């Protein structure tokens, strides 16, 4: 029995994505009696779905959770819906910029995450980690991944997505370099990466505990 998690490659000209570090940190761990596999997805509309399909085929996970970075977010954000829309503010890593296209032309307008979202939030808050529920994962690659995963995962395999703030050391580095998207005036909320790794473990533990065969 396997838990699959994915992080994303860096994007938007950044050198680092905290979701990639979470995937690497939890890869090979055992949580809730299940082996965790952590992998990366490309921030490319033309390739993310094939990457996800290949991982689901290879590992047949009983639980899938995607992780990604959301600029300006200030806490762990538990996504409740993926919508059938690709509408990019910035190009993806292959230079593609979709403006209002459907992800699946014949798909439903939205799909609901099948994780115990409220329980996850409660457990994170109990652990002293700020977290909130969200009704929109945006309309970029993270939303597309959640929407596609909900269509691809077996009906009894819980599936969802977690958005993360910047990592604190990442913000410090961007400010130190002075060359990235941030300056001294920017609002750039963040959490320490170790806190976010601990949060991801809680997300997996609570999600696994809610499964029928737990
Ligand atoms: N965040 C982007 C895509 C990759 C990532 O980490 C998003 O929120 O869609």
| Cα–Cα dist 143/111, whole Å | 10
pLDDT of residue 212: 65
* Residue whose CB lies within 8 A of the most ligand 1 atoms, among 40, 48, 70, 149, for a mutation test: 70
pLDDT single digits (tens) 122-174: 999 999 999 999 999 999 999 999 999 999 997 778 999 999 999 999 999 99
Atom of ligand 1 nearest to the CA of 140: 9
pLDDT score for 156: 76
Please enumerate in sequence order all residues whose Cβ is within 8 A of that of 138, keeping only pairs 6 or more positions apart, or say none: 70
Domains of the chain from N-terminus onward: 2-209 (3.40.630.20)
Q: Cα-Cα-Cα-Cα dihedral of 32, 33, 34, 35, to 10°?
A: 110
Q: Which of 117, 142, 153, 159 is catalytic?
A: 142
Ligand 1 binding pocket (C-beta < 6 A) is 8, 11, 17, 19, 43, 68-70, 138, 140-142
Distance between CA atoms of residues 23 and 27, nearest Å = 6
Give me the average pLDDT of each 10-residue run along the chain (214 residues): 96 96 98 96 98 97 97 96 98 98 98 97 98 98 98 90 98 88 84 98 95 64
Residue nearest to atom 7 of ligand 1 (CA): 142
Which residues fall within 8 angstroms of residue 91, CB to CB, at 6 or more apart?
Answer: 97
Cα–Cα distances in angstroms (integers) from residue 111 to residues 58, 82, 107, 137, in the given order: 24, 5, 9, 12
């Amino acid at each position: 029995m396997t838990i699959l998690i994915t992080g994303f490659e860096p994007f938007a000209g950044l050198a680092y994505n905290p979701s990639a570090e979470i995937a690497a940190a939890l890869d090979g761990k055992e949580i809730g009696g299940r082996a965790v596999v952590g992998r990366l997805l490309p921030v490319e509309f033309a390739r993310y779905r094939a990457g996800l399909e290949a991982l689901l085929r290879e590992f047949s996970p009983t639980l899938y959770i995607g992780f990604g970075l959301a600029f300006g977010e200030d806490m762990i954000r538990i996504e409740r819906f993926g919508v059938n829309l690709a509408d990019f503010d910035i190009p993806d890593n292959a230079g593609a910029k979709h403006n209002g296209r459907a992800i699946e032309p014949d798909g439903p307008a939205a799909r609901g995450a099948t994780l115990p979202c409220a329980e996850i939030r409660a457990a994170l808050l109990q652990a002293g980690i700020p977290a909130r529920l969200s009704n929109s994962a945006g309309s970029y690659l993270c939303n597309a991944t959640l929407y596609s995963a909900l269509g691809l995962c077996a009906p009894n395999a819980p599936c969802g997505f977690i958005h993360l703030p910047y990592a604190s050391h990442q913000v410090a580095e961007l400010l130190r370099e002075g060359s990235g998207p941030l300056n001294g005036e920017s609002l750039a909320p963040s959490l320490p990466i170790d806190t976010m790794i601990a949060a991801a473990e809680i997300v997996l533990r609570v999600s696994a505990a809610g499964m029928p065969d737990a």
